[in-house]
Structure 1
């Protein structure tokens, strides 16, 4: 059951990545300032890479300790939410204070990668 939820979460993140990318390219390209559009595109790019990484961990699960798997996936999902989510919100609202959240998302993404390395080392 747990696996199914993570696969569905990753699938949803992948679908949202495509929708956000299309929205950015077609709806925001002429309306946002270049700096805000670049922030939005950075959010899409990081979400895409980490969604793929989550899929890789899910596929590789047999070789990793369960606790490590869950830590990695949870950190990456939180990172996507905070990092990409704050960039999307910043770009769409223009509220620059939302940029204060972005580094916390980046930290979660980094910690997820480090947790993957530790988990692989222990396997």
Structure 2
């Protein structure tokens, strides 16, 4: 994926985080309150936003150092984390389907791996 595409993807995910958060705070509040899941929804939005910003940083970094092979795995890990972690929390919050809580940690592991890939990208010279 090219640097421009990485930055565009991060921008799209950031815009989605803001939109989902705003819609949750205003349009979905009664539904979230009925399921007792406002905090869960907000956690999904926070991690979604944090990792959209991390993806933006990776996109910018890859523009300066495109040979850093660990940057792409970091990006994909953050994307998978957003989909699984935040996505499962959104669905859990809106539907009350509790078994989704069992897959949420897989998204958390993807986030953690993404940060470890950042460490590798910073420490291994063009590897």
Taking structure 2 as the reference length, what is the TM-score of the superposition?
0.89
Query: Who is 1:20 aligned against?
Result: 20
Question: 5+ unaligned residues in a row in structure 1: which ranges?
Answer: none
Q: Tell me whether 29-38 or 42-51 shows the greater mean CA deviation.
A: 29-38
1:28 touches 1:37 (CA, 8 Å); kept in 2?
no
Taking structure 1 as the reference length, what is the TM-score of the superposition?
0.91
Query: Who is 1:105 aligned against?
Result: 107
2:77 touches 2:114 (CA, 8 Å); kept in 1?
yes
Aligned length, in residue pairs:
123
Question: 5+ unaligned residues in a row in structure 2: which ranges?
Answer: none
Aligned positions of 1:8-47 closer than 5 A: 8-33=8-33, 35-47=36-48
What CA RMSD, in Å, does the superposition of the two structures yield over aligned residues?
1.6
Choose between structure 1 and 2: higher helix proportion.
1
1:65 touches 1:119 (CA, 8 Å); kept in 2?
no
CA distance in 1, matches of 2:59, 2:4: 10
